[in-house]
Structure 1
Amino acid sequence: MAGWLKSQLPENTPVLTSPAQRARQTAMALCHDFDIVQEIGPGASANQILAAADWPYAQGAVVVVGHQPTLGETACLLLSTMPSGLFFNKGAVWWITCQKKKSTFVAELCTVKYSEMF
């Protein structure tokens, strides 16, 4: 999964990870220059994830390596057409883009990719 994601991301894309050991291991598969962000650790809220990623104001892509159920809750918050209780499988990548339309920001689901290992 990390190989696919590396091939899709622009160089120097920020990678934010939970301080949890398993999240850091996942981030290391993607790059060795990632930021450990306490605010996205276990028990974080969807709003904490969005604030850490500077959503919707970040300039370019940001990768967040976090935990369930918060990642699913964050996707549901951004994508109003998604059912509540959305769950991210282990090793999944959900690529959500942000487009500015008139005076508001609109989130769009671009890609969902699941690892065949899990």
Structure 2
Amino acid sequence: MDLILWRHAEAHDHPDVQTGRPGDETDMARRLTARGEKQASRMAAWLDRQLPDGARIWSSPAVRCEQTAQALGRKFKLREELSPTGSAQALLDLVQWPQQGKSPVVVVGHQPTMGRVVARLLGLRDDECSVKKGAVWWLRHRERDGIGQTVLVTVQTHELL
């Protein structure tokens, strides 16, 4: 199974930095900045060349994630499990990790959930990994000698494209 974690591109800050909370109504409505739109477009062009036609794509319902996913130009589904307050386990349950599947799964979501998923799959502490805005982490599950392994296929950022 291939799991591609794509953190949303740069978005406008929450207007109420003092009392605003991840997942509140204002947070969910935050849009990408002009720079974030360019980041999403560059990453989407690269990702589109790598993905087979049958890839499943899921996104957080936050507007900034939806805009990031739209840059790919493919059909995707919004999933509440991927909201800013979602957990790493909810994401892994949604994608049914590590079941073998022929088609990759792309998840557009948020930090710290993305970093926690990467950390869990690579055997790190939850707080040891942070996923940069707009970046893609491509992970693969495979079996070797009857033992499941997670392979880091690539990490890509818009600056390197």
| 2:81 alignment counterpart | 39
Residue 80 of structure 1, CA deviation:
1.2
Residue 101 of structure 1, CA deviation:
2.7
Aligned-partner Cα distance in 2 for 1:30–1:56: 25
Q: Does structure 2 retain, via aligned residues, the 8 Å contact 1:16–1:53?
A: no
Q: Does structure 2 retain, via aligned residues, the 8 Å contact 1:90–1:115?
A: no
The letter of the residue matching 1:21 is V
Answer with 76-85 or 3-12: which moved more: 76-85
2:121 to 78, 92, 96: 78
Percent pairwise identity: 39
TM-score by length of 2: 0.67
Stretches of structure 2 lacking an aligned partner (at least 5 in a row): 1-42
Residue 58 of structure 1, CA deviation:
4.9
Q: Between the two structures, name the one with larger relative contact order (CA 8 Å, sep ≥ 6).
A: 2
2:105 to 62, 66, 75: 62
Off by >3 Å, runs of 4+ in structure 1: 81-84
- Which has the greater radius of gyration? 2
| 1:101 alignment counterpart | 144
Aligned-partner Cα distance in 2 for 1:99–1:27: 27
TM-score by length of 1: 0.90
Q: Does structure 2 retain, via aligned residues, the 8 Å contact 1:15–1:64?
A: yes
Residue 11 of structure 1, CA deviation:
0.8
Aligned-partner Cα distance in 2 for 1:46–1:65: 13
Compare the two structures and name the one with the higher helix fraction. Answer: 2
